[in-house]
Homo-oligomer: A and B are copies of this chain.
Amino acid sequence: MDDLDARPGPAPIGPRRRHDPQLDSQGNLKHFLTIDGLERPLLTEILDRAEGFLGVARQAVKKVPLCRGKIVANLFFENSTRTRTTFELAAKRLSADVLNLNISTSATAKGETLLDTLRNLEAMHVDMFVVRHAESGAAHFIAAHAAPHVSVINAGDGRHSHPTQGMLDMFTIRRHKGSIDGLVVAIVGDVLHSRVARSQISALRTLGAGEVRIIAPRTLVPAGAEDALGVRVYHDLREGVRDADVIIMLRLQRERMDGAFLPSEHEYFHLFGLTEKRLATAKPDAIVMHPGPINRGVEMDSQVADGERSVILEQVSNGLAVRMAVMSMCIGTQHLGAQQEAGHD
């Protein structure tokens, strides 16, 4: 990757682009890499647009032609059938064509560099890369070196960011609470390793949440979280959910745990697992969220997962609408003029 400077025709970098590499020169969404740095009106536009797409699922023909003829390539360096499927469905519902590329088994195995793989896909006129990668910053790297006509969506990079998950959570909260403004939101679990939590916290703060709490064992709280993330830290579940409007349970990522962080899953549930009883101190109309897939009996018991406060399955449906919103904002033909201006030939 030391040949980057040598590559011909780098993207022209306008004055505003310097401020946020996710926006084009007119301030429209070009990439969706992180929620950090995006302003409230843009986040609200995503939510409003997603609202419109919710209705598409109720139509007899669940398709809109906004991205017809566009090509979306799923570049999943880290396997995730669930997330890939939601992006694939969102793209198909927008009438785009989808390429699923398992990068680990393709050309890179033949010794091709990542950038050569990208250049090749760009030369095939791919319009969007949906990138999942185990390393933080991977999607930014790809966006920074992508051709001008290509949009990049971060579908999860290392511990850094998972912005469409963050936005579908905001969308779900807004549908139940009317607005994010002033809400007390408790995020429970392994914040230390969670890109989902980072995206949620960022979105909650931009959208005006009253208080964001994280509830976790000491070993799973990032150092200096209170200042760095602007949250309040709790180590006791019952105390942390007191008067909360929203309780977001994080997935205990077994495959990421190094063994040193937790004694056992049983013990984790004993201390941080959500039950109806422990929910008692939250607001009576509090909702319970989880990004899925749930480890039943670890993060929460089935009574909560399937209970009336749970909005977990709504999150999945909402995820489709939010991904359709972001994808169509980046490459939808409504923005064709903007795109051509940005260098699309």
Contact = CB atoms under 8 A, between A and B. Distances in A.
Interface of A: 3, 6-8, 57-63, 68-71, 79, 81-82, 85-86, 88-89, 92, 97, 99, 101-102, 105-107, 110-113, 116-117, 119-125, 254-255, 292-296, 302-303, 306-308, 310, 313-317, 319-320, 333, 336, 345
Given A59-B69, A81-B106, A123-B317, A112 B3 contact: no
Given A68-B61, A71-B62, A295-B111, A320 B124 contact: yes
A323 to B, nearest CB: 10
Given A62-B69, A81-B101, A89-B99, 15 more contacts: A3-B296, A3-B302, A8-B307, A8-B308, A61-B69, A62-B71, A85-B121, A112-B293, A116-B294, A120-B293, A120-B313, A120-B316, A122-B313, A123-B313, A123-B316
A63 B69 contact: yes
Contacts of A123: 313-317
A92 B97 contact: yes
A107 B82 contact: yes
Contacts of A81: 101-102, 105-107
Nearest to A65: B61
B85 A3 contact: no
A105 B57 CA distance: 27
Contact of A306 (B3, B62, B120): B3
Q: Which of A71, A102, A310 has the most CB of B within 10 A?
A: A71
Contact of A116 (B57, B59, B107, B293): B293
A82 B99 contact: no
B99 A85 contact: yes
A6 B302 contact: yes
